[in-house]
Chains A and B, each alone.
Chain A
Amino acid sequence: MKHTNFVKLLLMSFILASTAIGCKKVPKSITPIPGANRTGPGVPSTTDPTDRGPRHPPNTETTPTTLPNDPTGSTPFGSRIDKGDFWGDKETYKESTVYFAFDSAQVRPEDKSKIDAVAQHLKANPTFKVEVEGHCDERGTEGYNLSLGERRALSVREYLISVGVGGDRVGTITYGESQPAVQGHDETAWAKNRRGEFLLLKPKTQ
């Protein structure tokens, strides 16, 4: 009969437990807050991962498989220029900075001569490469300006390629609106901030 008693006890406790769980009676609850809101690196937490402080990332970086070039792209990149192998020179092409109309990534006809000059210089120095930096004014939002800045840099790159510079010698980078040339909140400032700048890359081993 010991067994029956045990079953009875089990049944009884099950009923009690399920009553307690099933009925959300108002006043008897207590809510434990698991380690909430404690900050600082390395604070352990079992339930809320975001409560944990940041950890400096270890060097576990891996590179995903390479994509085949898509034939529908505008002017596909070859490989990425390793900037560690080059000296960056912002001065040589300082006067060649091109400017864009509001919300446009078209190279303006009057700026083409500036890019032609860059192209001539690059052709005369076949070991040099260039990185085109795309910038925007503050009148777009940040995510949008990243794309627009990249599109501007790519337009300049396309023009360079069209006048005979190899695509593998021209990299692009977008800074969106994060690096304005001029501070200010009027058209004078904005016009100077919608731009494409050239960073001349000279090989270190020469």
Chain B
Amino acid sequence: MTFQPTKLCACREEGFAFPASFSGFRRGRSNASFPLTPPLSLGETEHSSPRRNRPACSDRAGIAAAEPSPWGEGRVREKGLDDDKLGPDLPDTPISSRFRDSRSGFWRLVRRTACLAALLVSAAHRFVFAQQSQPAIDIDKEVDRSKLIPISLSGFSGEVQTVLRFDLEIQGFDIVAADVAQFNVTGSNAGAVEGRVIDRIRKTPILGNRYQGGTPRSQAHAFADDIIQKITGKPGISRAKIAFISENARRREIHVSDYDGANAHAATQDSVDVVTPAWAPGGRKLFYASRKSGYLDIYSHDLISGERIVVAKYPGSNFSPAVSPDSRRVAMIISKDGNPELYVSNVDGTNARRLTQTAADESSPCWSPDGQTICVVSRMGGAPALYKVPASGGPMTKIRTAGVGSVTEPDWSPDGKWIAFTALTRPFQICRVPAQGGTVEVLCGGEDPSWAANSRTIVFTARSGDRRVLSLLDADTKRVKTLGQYSGSWSQPSWAK
């Protein structure tokens, strides 16, 4: 990988960070046959640097339509024709295929057949998924439209269309008509999801990809993330997981789901009250407090092996664990000394050390991304406020949250810039403040925010009557989407990253 080809790699994007999950993709490519001069390389050289938030040039509408697409008819050539049939059953077997500019009648026939199949599949999807989940609810009145990137979607249907729209809208895009969009996304989900993205303003293709394995839903998430990565230069978060408390008929268990609420399943089956779930980095272990022993104790739960260890089981209550970014320490609230105080221990619970010495209660610790500082809520000054404490011990420093009196449940953004928190207003509000303190920006109504890896999407709890629901917020555009959920109350979300 260190070899740097000179001639053909003008298109190489420096500083482009592939998410770890793409390693399989890169490996998969080595199986493909690549010509030395692949078609459609022209446009990409113009797009060697990431662009973001370019306004739509609606006055230029129609230009792109008059131009023939540089993609030709954008067909897919398959090496193994049976791969589509195998589909999700062979998730780890990449097939080689690529888009090709071809005008033969045979391929036209193939395309028409594929279109017909797409219609049938989409009809089936609509039928199946209409019965399964509630549609997400959009709250658009607060959206800052000037920051939205206009994009069009065509050729997709059913669940794939719904997922693509959801993923793009919550990550800063606005789905508009093709002739006013800055980017045109076309493709199909007949069989596998495949799609192309054209910069309509520059009239150049920027992305073409086909997805295999998994479910149509996961393929759509992967395509959405590729679109987001290509256009914004930052990885999307469409395939992330969240953990949360699901309460049904007064029974509370931790559930894990996709970031959009789909595929929720129970991670605990204890039939006892459980609170404050928090992911360890990497998305393999969950930390939480459970009343399994009759008291609140902190557990670390490996979701793969099923192994569960007690991290803190001291007299009194033990809750609100937060694992350090290096996965080596855990911050938590322990009341064994007669007061709920902030403690830090090794990740297995050993070597616990008390960091705060107050007469009031501390709550809801979170870590700075560099692992040097813990932000914790304390009522030492009367109303609950945010304080910074060095993770190795030291004095508490108040974080100024100008404009808001009582603040709780902080979460430090992965890029280190922001601390999101809940303002105890009526009703509660999700806010963010620069990590060094300063003026508070109110983002939307809700509580208990948890940042995604992209430092812009936030999952939070909203109260809806006596029920609680999870919602997603795009902090940059203030767009909010409530997750579809089947029943019961969902709360205390934690974003796996």
Contact = CB atoms under 8 A, between A and B. Distances in A.
A and B bind: yes
Interface of A: 14-41, 46-50, 52-58, 60-65, 67, 69-70, 72-80, 83-84, 103, 105, 139-144, 146-148, 150-151, 154, 157-158, 171-176, 178, 183
A19 to B, nearest CB: 5
A90 to B, nearest CB: 15
Interface string B438-474: 0000000001100000000000010000100000000
A62 B309 contact: yes
A151 B491 CA distance: 23
Interface residues of B, number: 137
Contact of B25 (A29, A52, A148): A29
A141 B448 contact: yes
Contacts of A176: 275
B315 A77 contact: yes
Given A24-B11, A174-B296, A178-B252, 7 more contacts: A24-B13, A25-B11, A30-B94, A62-B309, A64-B352, A142-B275, A174-B319
Contact of A147 (B8, B338, B354, B362): B362
B153 interface: no
B34 A28 contact: yes
A141 B38 CA distance: 56
Given A47-B21, A147-B363, A72 B337 contact: yes
A133 to B, nearest CB: 11
A105 B359 CA distance: 11
Given A30-B209, A142-B492, A146-B275, A55 B306 contact: yes
B91 A35 contact: yes
Main DSSP-derived SS at the B contact region: loop
Nearest to A77: B315
A147 B341 CA distance: 9
A19 B307 contact: no
Nearest to B410: A143
Given A27-B205, A142-B275, A143-B409, A18 B11 contact: no
A96 B158 CA distance: 59
A147 B283 CA distance: 26
Nearest to B320: A143
B5 A23 contact: yes
B424 interface: yes
